[in-house]
Amino acid sequence: MSKVADILKAKGNPAVHQIGPNDSVLEAMRRMAEHGIGALVVTEGDAVVGIMTERDYARKVILRGRAAATTKVHEIMTAHVLYVSPDDESTDCMALMTERRTRHLPVMENDRLIGLISIGDLVKDIIDEQQFIIDQLEKYIAG
């Protein structure tokens, strides 16, 4: 089983894209589009105060007829942020995401944001682990 630290290492790029709570939702969507990501961690200084996702935008802005340019991130973000540590196991993260119906988990170490993992990162990790097992079994069978 992989640890969150292994998943972050495999991702390569340690950058965690962030936005402030008083920035506009339009700016948040621009950043997400620019970086090809589906979520931004909302921070004030070094403190994580929320997370904003494309789902938040769709459900709390578009479907409610609000304007992205005048709506602030803090108005639609999820303020209760679930997070994991580098020592947590990937299976525990998958269970947490499934139970809480979330797709992104910030990674915190000593109260400091060090990464962000997505459901896609976890699925890739599981596929890689399964492929490794298959390869080992094929080698064993082949002698």
Picking from 41, 52, 51, the residue whose alpha carbon sits closest to that of residue 16 is 41
Regarding the domain with residue range 4-142, which homologous superfamily does it belong to in the CATH classification? CBS-domain (3.10.580.10)
Residue spans of the domains in the chain: they are: 4-142
What distance in Å separates the CA atoms of residue 19 and residue 17, rounded to the nearest whole number? 7
CB-side exposure of 88: number of CA atoms within 13 Å? 20
Task: Summarize pLDDT for 14-47 with one digit per residue, the tens.
Answer: 789 999 999 999 999 999 999 999 999 999 998 9
Report the pLDDT value the prediction gives residue 140, as an integer from 0 to 100. 86
pLDDT digits (tens, 9 = 90+) for 88-133: 999 999 999 999 999 999 999 999 999 999 999 999 988 988 888 8
